[in-house]
Amino acid sequence: MLELSMHILDIVENSIRAGATLVSITIEEDLEGDRFRIEITDDGSGMDAETCRKAVDPFYTTKTVRRVGLGLPLFRQAAEMTNGSFSIRCGSSGGTTVSAEFQRSHIDRQPLGDMASTLKALLAGNPAMDLVYTHGRAGASYRLDTREIRGALDGIPMDHPEVLRLIGENVRDGLREIKANQ
């Protein structure tokens, strides 16, 4: 994967397969500390300790259509090769949190990519899921919460093309306003 947004897409799709109805994506850009942190938390079915440990093994997957699971191992590698770190916390009774931290200025840190398109793709394919996206940078922040949007839609589905277009514009404008990932 060439962009961090694609890692995020992959991890959230795993959350959805685990039955998550609420996923939170938090990105923090610490300019002074030269750190770039991504955290994805879900309310899915979680994993027992053994499955959680195996989840970062590229030769382990719970999917039956292939024998390898490269998403988490590649995300871990992307973080660690930029003087960063990776962690996964699993709740056996539910919920998983995946965190990665990168050296923000590292030449090998992948660009964030198009978060507006990533979020739109997730919502288009999973209109019943709720998503909270928060992006902080240099004391400013942008937040999108589909629970708030859903309340204002008055029955219009989240995957309606016009709703998705407006969400995409809102995300792009919000990230531009806080000068995210520049």
* 79-107 residue pLDDT tens: 999 999 999 999 878 899 999 999 999 99
CA dihedral sign, ordered 94, 70, 65, 132 = positive
* 103-154 residue pLDDT tens: 999 999 999 999 999 999 999 999 999 999 999 999 999 999 999 999 999 8
Rounded Cα distance, 157 and 143, in Å: 20
What was the pLDDT predicted at 56?
Answer: 77
> What mean pLDDT do residues 150-172 have?
95
Per-domain residue ranges for the chain? 4-177
Cα separations (Å) of 160 from 58, 156, 157, 165, 166?
A: 36, 7, 5, 9, 10
DSSP 3-40: SHHHHHHHHHHHHHHTT-SEEEEEEEEETTTTEEEEEE
* 8-64 residue pLDDT tens: 999 999 899 999 999 999 999 999 999 999 999 999 998 888 888 877 776 666 655
Fold of 4-177: Heat Shock Protein 90 (3.30.565)
Residue 66 pLDDT exceeds 80: no
Q: Are 94 and 29 in contact (CB under 8 A)?
A: no
Q: What is the mean pLDDT of the chain?
A: 91
Flag whether the pTM goes above 0.85. Answer: yes
* 110-122 residue pLDDT tens: 999 999 999 999 9
At position 99, the amino acid (one-letter code) is S
The conformation of residue 127, written as its DSSP 8-state character, comes to: T
What was the pLDDT predicted at 12?
Answer: 95
pLDDT band at 70 (very low <50, low <70, confident <90, very high): confident
Question: How far out from the chain centre does Cα 73 lie?
Answer: 15
* Backbone dihedral angles phi then psi of residue 99, each to the nearest 5 degrees: -130, 140
The conformation of residue 151, written as its DSSP 8-state character, comes to: H
**Cα diameter, the chain:** 46
Q: Which of 125, 140, 165, 101 has its CA nearest to residue 15?
A: 125
Burial 34-45 (b: 16+ CB within 10 A, else e): ebbbbbbbbbbb
Rounded Cα distance, 88 and 72, in Å: 9
